[in-house]
């Protein structure tokens, strides 16, 4: 009998955000001297924050509010093509307050916006390509022959770069980049199964935590000689400002946020009151609630077969305030971290950061 357990001979250790710690560096900067901006496909983001294309996170209102703060909103695809186009058009028509120096603008001075699409939904991608600044493939596991071929068709028909993801391994990044072509990829989005409302790993046993996925992408792009050409987006399980700092220190240029932006007044999730406290309804795109529309079935390896397995859950998250308030808090806390480790810019973080793993004893005594 053949023994297949040999794959466990040299296991790779996966770390959660809570197991990590950044060591202090030589600090010479005050928070006001630190720059959190990032250049991305001709857009100048004032903060490295991108909203997740989820139907309880990003529609036009949140994309507008985030754009005014210098981040990029990505509208979801759990709707008709016409509805998605209408959301994008609403963002583009939004007025930018006079004197706003932080807004993320396109070349025409309008608020920049992205949109999620299935690699298999060519009609949606083509319709949105002229309406948004960036298209994002929105699937749980992008390293799939059909999805890669679909993405190649989208690139050919739109003539535009695309953000690919989600991916979780070095091999997946290398293969996808080679297949699609480096000149056609705007960024790689890393992470699988780590979201607070994602249960893909619980259901299937398959996943790639953001901490591991980002590092895998960095290794892959370095091997391809593209580390300075193709940015990495960390996506999934980012719940605290420290998680943003860890992601950027490991090699990401930007972070995609779902849970944190679901807590904002402008998110489309229902607002409820319980025991005198206000909450937002937030669910995963693989949840029963999201799948009712049947417009995101192919996000979770269901190519029209009618798979009935839930890979997401519904939860209530505290309503924290407006987008501008949440962005201000997160960016301020990020600057504090950057000051402690001695990083003047987001790009510098990955060069100066030193990350250690906490022991079980440290966890027990409350080193967090």
Mean pLDDT of 300-304: 50
Average pLDDT over residues 80-105: 97
| pTM reported for the whole predicted model | 0.91
Average pLDDT estimate for 148-163: 98
Helix (H, G, I), strand (E, B) or coil at 40: strand
Cα 136 to Cα 207: distance, rounded to the nearest angstrom = 20
Set out the domains of the chain in order of their start, with CATH numbers. Answer: 18-299+311-364 (3.20.20.70)
Q: Please check the confidence at residue 289 and state whether its pLDDT lies above 80.
A: no
Instruction: Quote the pLDDT of residue 9.
Output: 46
Which candidate in 77, 79, 198, 264 is catalytic? Answer: 198
Region 321-345 average pLDDT: 97
pLDDT band at 5 (very low <50, low <70, confident <90, very high): very low
Alpha-carbon Rg for the chain, nearest whole angstrom, is 20
- 293 vs 133, which has greater pLDDT? 133
Q: What is the mean pLDDT of the chain?
A: 89
φ and ψ at residue 341, rounded to 5 degrees: -90, -5
The fraction of the chain above a pLDDT of 70, given in percent, is 85
Which entry of 77, 263, 291, 299 is annotated as an active-site residue?
A: 299
Query: What tokens does 11 get?
Result: 């296991």
d(CA 283, CA 299): 15
62-79: average pLDDT: 97
Examine the residue annotation and report whether 305 is marked as an active-site residue of this protein: no
pLDDT over 50 (residue 73): yes
Does 263 qualify as catalytic in the annotation?
no
């Amino acid at each position: 009998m053949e023994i297949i357990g040999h794959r466990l001979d040299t296991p790779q250790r996966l770390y959660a955000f809570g197991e990590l710690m950044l060591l202090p560096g030589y600090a010479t900067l005050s928070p006001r001297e630190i720059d959190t901006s990032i250049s991305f496909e001709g857009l100048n983001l004032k903060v490295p924050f991108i909203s997740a294309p989820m139907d309880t996170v990003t529609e036009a209102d949140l994309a507008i509010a985030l754009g005014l703060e210098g981040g990029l909103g990505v509208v979801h695809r759990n709707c008709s093509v016409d509805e998605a186009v209408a959301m994008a058009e609403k963002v583009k028509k939004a007025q930018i307050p006079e004197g706003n120096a932080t807004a993320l603008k396109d070349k025409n001075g309008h608020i920049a916006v992205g949109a999620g699409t299935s690699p298999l939904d060519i009609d949606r991608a083509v319709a949105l390509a002229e309406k948004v600044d960036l298209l994002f493939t929105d699937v749980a596991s992008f390293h799939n022959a059909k999805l890669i071929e679909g993405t190649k068709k989208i690139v050919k028909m739109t003539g535009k770069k695309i953000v690919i993801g989600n991916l979780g391994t070095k091999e997946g990044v290398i293969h996808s980049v080679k297949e699609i072509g480096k000149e056609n990829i705007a960024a790689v989005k890393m992470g699988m199964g780590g979201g607070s409302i994602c249960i893909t790993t619980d259901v299937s046993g398959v996943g790639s935590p953001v901490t591991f996925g980002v590092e895998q992408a960095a290794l892959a792009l370095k091997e391809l000689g593209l580390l300075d050409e193709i940015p990495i987006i960390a996506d999934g399980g980012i719940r605290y400002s420290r998680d943003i700092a860890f992601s950027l220190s490991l090699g990401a240029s930007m972070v995609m946020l779902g849970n944190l932006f679901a807590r904002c007044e402008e998110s489309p999730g229902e607002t409820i009151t319980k025991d005198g406290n206000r909450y937002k309804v937030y669910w995963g795109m693989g949840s029963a609630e999201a799948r009712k529309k049947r417009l995101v079935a192919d996000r979770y390896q269901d190519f029209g077969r009618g798979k009935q397995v839930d890979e997401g859950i519904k939860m209530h998250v505290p309503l924290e305030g407006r987008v501008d308030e949440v962005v201000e808090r997160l960016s301020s806390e990020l600057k504090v971290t950057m000051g402690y480790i001695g990083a003047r810019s987001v790009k510098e973080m990955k060069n100066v950061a030193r990350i250690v793993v906490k022991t079980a004893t440290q966890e027990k005594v409350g080193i967090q």
